């Protein structure tokens, strides 16, 4: 019985830790940037900045507004609510000044797309990053 309690407590703690896990900004290996400023990250994810400093196109990948990872990413790294980010995309899309980011449905798909698309940027939880993508820090 004690073990069961312990397992439950441990599971609970793990869940809690999982939920509080930080989200990492992740890029394709061919992008040479070492760090990005917060305003550049905001500009990239609001679809205003469209190229890397070397002129290569940026491909932005996001998950759905309701996904916990996307909510965490928006709030922690951009300082925006998902609905505010979506409104920024809509203002661009419906005035002809920009395009929407590419939507993925899972972290596996996010990792695969970022690994295989030159110029790609997205985000992953710590457990999902591997050697096929690169974490990039925000200064």
- If we measure between CA atoms, which residue out of 51, 67, 89 comes closest to residue 19? 67
Using CB under 8 A as the binding criterion, the count of chain residues that bind another protein stands at 43
Q: Kindly state whether residue 34 participates in binding another protein, applying the rule CB under 8 A.
A: no
Q: Kindly state whether residue 55 participates in binding another protein, applying the rule CB under 8 A.
A: yes
CB 85 within 8 A of CB 91: no
DSSP 8-state secondary structure symbol assigned to residue 101: P
Distance in angstroms (rounded) separating the CA atoms of residues 9 and 11: 5
Distance in angstroms (rounded) separating the CA atoms of residues 79 and 56: 26
The minimum distance between CB 56 and another protein, in angstroms, equals 8
The helix/strand/coil state of 97 is: coil
**Torsion angle in degrees (nearest 10) through CA of 75, 79, 85, 91:** 170
The minimum distance between CB 19 and another protein, in angstroms, equals 16
Site for another protein, residues 72 to 91, rule: CB under 8 A: 78-84, 86-88, 90-91
Q: Kindly state whether residue 35 participates in binding another protein, applying the rule CB under 8 A.
A: no
Q: Going residue by residue from 100 to 119, which x/- string records binding to another protein, judged by CB under 8 A?
A: xxx--------------x--
Q: Kindly state whether residue 138 participates in binding another protein, applying the rule CB under 8 A.
A: no
Q: Kindly state whether residue 22 participates in binding another protein, applying the rule CB under 8 A.
A: no
CB 46 within 8 A of CB 90: no
Please give the backbone phi and psi of residue 126, each rounded to the nearest 5 degrees, phi first.
-55, -40
Binds another protein (CB under 8 A): choice among 1, 3, 19, 96 = 96
Which residues of the shown chain bind another protein in the complex (CB under 8 A)? 37-40, 42-43, 48-51, 53, 55-59, 64-66, 71, 78-84, 86-88, 90-91, 93-102, 117
């Amino acid at each position: 019985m004690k073990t069961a309690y312990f397992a439950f407590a441990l599971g609970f703690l793990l869940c809690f830790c999982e939920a509080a896990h930080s989200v990492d900004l992740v890029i394709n290996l061919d992008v040479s940037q070492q760090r990005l400023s917060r305003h550049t990250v905001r500009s990239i994810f609001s679809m205003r900045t469209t190229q890397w400093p070397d002129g290569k196109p940026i491909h932005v990948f996001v998950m759905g507004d309701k996904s916990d990872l996307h909510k965490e990413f928006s709030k922690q790294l951009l300082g925006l609510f998902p609905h505010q980010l979506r409104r920024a995309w809509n203002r661009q899309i419906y005035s002809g000044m920009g395009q929407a980011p590419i939507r993925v449905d899972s972290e596996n798909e996010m990792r695969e797309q970022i690994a295989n698309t030159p110029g790609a940027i997205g985000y992953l939880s710590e457990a999902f990053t591997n050697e096929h993508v690169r974490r990039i820090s925000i200064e």
